[in-house]
Amino acid sequence: MAGASRAMIRNYADDLRLFPTAAKRVSLVALIALYLLVPWLINDEWASVLALAGVVAIGAIGLNLLTGYTGQPSLGMAAFIGLGAFIAGYFGGGRIADGIGYEFNVFVYLFIALVAGGVVGFVIGLPALRLRGNYLVIVTLGLVFVALYVWQKWTTFTGGNEGSPMPIKADVSLGFWSIDFLKPTVLGKDLGPKQGLMYLAWGFVIVTALLVKNIVRTRPGRALQAVRDRDVAAEVVGVSLFRYKVGAFVISSAIATFAGVLYGLYLGYLTPDQTSLGLVLSIQFLAVIVVGGIGTIYGSILGAILIGALPKIIEQFVPDNWNLPVLGWPIVTNNAGATGFSKGALATIIYALLIIVFLVFEPRGLAGIWRRIQAYFKTWPFSY
């Protein structure tokens, strides 16, 4: 009982602390150690999976701030991801060989992406003052197709239909110390580009998660949730819909564009088409927050890890000759011409099933499952 009483929140200051208990502080240290050691211990192939998961986690956190905490549904993630990626290619040296663009430090073009994403988010956020629900979804959906058209026609910036190479280096130099995150050396060991990108991406996951967590747990966060639950009532009691609705779009869009820069570094080369920057990419981000948990920060991270690792798990553990014909009918034909489900189609089917299962049986996602596990052990032996 004494331990339980010490864990109780006694005042508002304790409630605002990010790591109020010793267990959470120990967990923080363990996570930092994991962050430092894992990229150094695994090979570049598995680091590629976790690097992509980190990039997706950053974008999902931004989307969760907009959709989960403010109640503004959006399918426009692909537009901001594309904006960030092409900013990386243009300002990061990807097109220097063609005599176009610049060759800035990685933090410089990351900052440019933040500003550009925030400005575009402000413009897109203005209609949110008048629109909600399905109407807002349609506006953000249209943004994806408008952006894709712009990327295909703006050849100077994006390379047009031929696409654009991304930076061949992501270097930071402080005079006495320098590192290229695409060719890093850690503890005397030369790491691969995806291992270095994993360090960069998950470092920014930590920063982004702390930033958004500090937003949602303070007064602005409570205002955002009031707008989500009852925007008219929130306005009546003095919450500015312009400030918080548009502000949520600005911050979310800036984070998404930031993630787009890292996505460009991950791909190495980006072509503006429906496959890479179309509606499917936006839906994948939406799937991440649904599976992970809408309205939670760590849920976005859990969902990104699951969705990001699933294709690799299928590739590793599903045999090449595996198939699942349905009633003998050819559902999907793989490259070898065999009838059945290919591995890529299997991943898509599992994504769809996960969304359906979580929406029907666990609307709070993986975060809800984790909360129930925590509650069980906190109340044991009285839990049932």
Tokens of 8: 């109780």
d(CA 84, CA 26): 35
Nearest C-alpha neighbor of 145 from the set 293, 15, 273? 273
Average pLDDT over residues 146-150: 95
Residue 79 reports pLDDT greater than 90 = yes
What value does the mean pLDDT take over residues 74-79? 93
pTM of the predicted model as reported, rounded to 2 decimal places = 0.88
The per-residue pLDDT for range 269-316, each reduced to its tens digit, is: 999 998 889 888 898 898 899 999 999 999 999 999 988 888 777 777
6-15, 127-136, 343-352, range with the lowest pLDDT: 6-15
Q: Has residue 51 got a pLDDT over 90?
A: yes
Is residue 196 assigned to a domain? yes
In a domain, 314, yes or no: no
- For the residues 34-40, what does the mean pLDDT come to? 82
Q: Which pLDDT band holds residue 3 (cuts at 50, 70, 90)?
A: very low
Q: What pLDDT is stored for residue 313 in this prediction?
A: 78
In a domain, 226, yes or no: yes
Q: Residue 154's pLDDT is what?
A: 94
Query: Quick one: pLDDT at residue 158?
Result: 93
The mean per-residue pLDDT over the stretch 87-103 comes to 90
Query: Which of 91-105, 142-156, 337-351 has the least mean pLDDT?
Result: 337-351
Q: Is residue 8 part of a domain?
A: no
Structure-model confidence comparison of residues 131 and 82, the more confident one: 82
15, pLDDT greater than 70: no
pLDDT at 147: 95
Say whether 313 sits in a helix, a strand or coil: helix
Among candidate residues 91, 87, 55, the one with its CA nearest the CA of residue 208: 55
CA distance 193 to 44: 7
Confidence of residue 6 (pLDDT cuts 50, 70, 90): low
In a domain, 16, yes or no: no
Percent of the chain with pLDDT over 90: 43
Distance between CA atoms of residues 319 and 341, nearest Å? 12
> Which range marks the domain in which residue 141 is found?
34-273
Among 56-65, 172-181, 247-256, the minimum mean pLDDT is found in 172-181
Confidence of residue 259 (pLDDT cuts 50, 70, 90): very high
Confidence of residue 177 (pLDDT cuts 50, 70, 90): low
Q: Is 377 helix (H, G, I), strand (E, B) or coil?
A: helix
Confidence of residue 175 (pLDDT cuts 50, 70, 90): low
- CA-nearest of 66, 123, 78, 69 to 248 is 66
- pLDDT, one tens digit per residue, over 339-381 is 445 666 677 777 778 888 888 888 889 998 988 888 888 777 7
- pLDDT of 336 reads 45
pLDDT tops 70 at residue 333 = no
- Cα separation, 44 vs 312, whole angstroms: 13
Look over the chain and give the mean of its residue pLDDT values, rounded to a whole number: 84
CA distances from 167 to 91, 102, 263 (A): 9, 10, 11
| Residue 28 lies inside a defined structural domain of this protein | no
Is pLDDT above 60 for 167? yes
Q: Region 111-132: what's the mean pLDDT?
A: 91
Q: Over the stretch 208-243, which tens digit does the pLDDT of each residue have?
A: 999 999 999 888 899 999 999 988 888 888 888 889
In a domain, 83, yes or no: yes
Say how many domains are in the chain.
1
* pLDDT score for 197: 92
pLDDT at 342: 62
Residue 303 lies in a domain: no
